Amino acid sequence: MNCTKCKTKAVISLPRHNAAFCKGCFNGFVHDQVARAIKSEWMFGKEERILVAVSGGKDSLALWDILLKLGYRADALYVNLGIGTYSEQSHAKVTKFAEVVAASHGATLHLHTVEQEAGAGIKELAQLIHRPTCSTCGTIKRYQFNRVAIEQQYDVMATGHNLDDEAARLLGNVLHWQEEYLEKQGPSLPASVEGFAKKVKPLYRLSERELAAYAVLNRIDYIVEECPMAKGSKMLQYKEVLNRLETESPGTKQTFYWGFLEKQSKKQPTATTMTEKDRAVLHPCTSCSQPTTAEVCSYCKMMVRAKTVVPR
């Protein structure tokens, strides 16, 4: 198998693009897909400051790597959730990448440790406040991503969600007709109200397999294990189903998700409509000032409950 571009020996085949690439041309392909995502979804420019949320997994570390190599001003944030060895190992991978690769580009890593603020790790915290671990985790991560982006005055916050993540989420939203979520499923969400950072997903054109290959070929040392709490989750089930379809008909995920984006862009000028809707329902939390639909935001409510049950 030879590289479709330069005809030397290929290291990866991409059935959905009917192509195969050597390492150099594959890196060029990945960088080009990210550059296209940034441009077509008006994500950010070269002067803007980007905060990448890095989990220690392949996607977000690859994203940080790609943005730095493309010449963007990208710092990162890692949230230590306190999930035993999983968090210890992912923390170590992020720190190593920050010291070895990111530092040579002058980039900074911000850290937030859940235990320091909440008095307990995510599992314990979820049990104490009687909520599922993953939703507690989601609330905390979303809150901290936004808080750090706003406090440190970043122009935009980027996550490592890839094509598989977005196609699986779309499948879930369609299966349950979650119309409100469908509206907000784009790869670029505006800073609709003061206190909300703009949020982007520059990897939405690349699959999980392509990102794993990018990380391996570029010697990015990432945590291979998924979060132990995610086992058996609906998201993983949807991914499995889509993978089966993809094997039978390469390009299924891309047709599904990109097709949705195309329809969405024709339907409405998303940014304006969403901004108007958000402005109508959001106002500052009376405790922390982050935008919320209630008087006190769900993060602050959670912290109040945690502090009443966690001995300090």
**305, two tokens:** 């409950």
Closer of 54 and 126 to ligand AMP (Cβ) = 54
Stretch that binds ligand FES, among 189-197, 224-232, 285-293, 297-305 (CB under 6 A): 224-232
Radius of gyration of the chain (CA): 20
Per rule CB under 6 A, count of chain residues that contact ligand AMP: 14
Q: Quick count: other Cβ atoms within 10 Å of Cβ 264?
A: 14
Among 35, 134, 174, 217, binds ligand FES (CB under 6 A): 134
Stretch that binds ligand FES, among 63-71, 225-233, 241-249, 251-259 (CB under 6 A): 225-233
| Partner in contact with 287, chosen from ligand AMP, ligand FES, Zn ion, none, beta carbon below 5 to 8 Å by kind | Zn ion
In angstroms, the CA 70 to CA 35 distance is: 8
| Partner in contact with 297, chosen from Zn ion, ligand FES, ligand AMP, none, beta carbon below 5 to 8 Å by kind | Zn ion
Sheet arrangement for strand 73-80:
109-113, 73-80, 49-53, 156-158, 198-200, 188-189
CB 229, min distance to ligand FES, A = 4
Tokens 């509206």 found at:
183
159: helix, coil or strand? coil
CB 303, min distance to Zn ion, A = 8
Closer of 21 and 145 to ligand AMP (Cβ) = 145
Among 53, 163, 167, 211, binds ligand AMP (CB under 6 A): 53
Measured between alpha carbons, how far is residue 28 from residues 3, 32, 214, 249 in Å? 12, 6, 11, 25
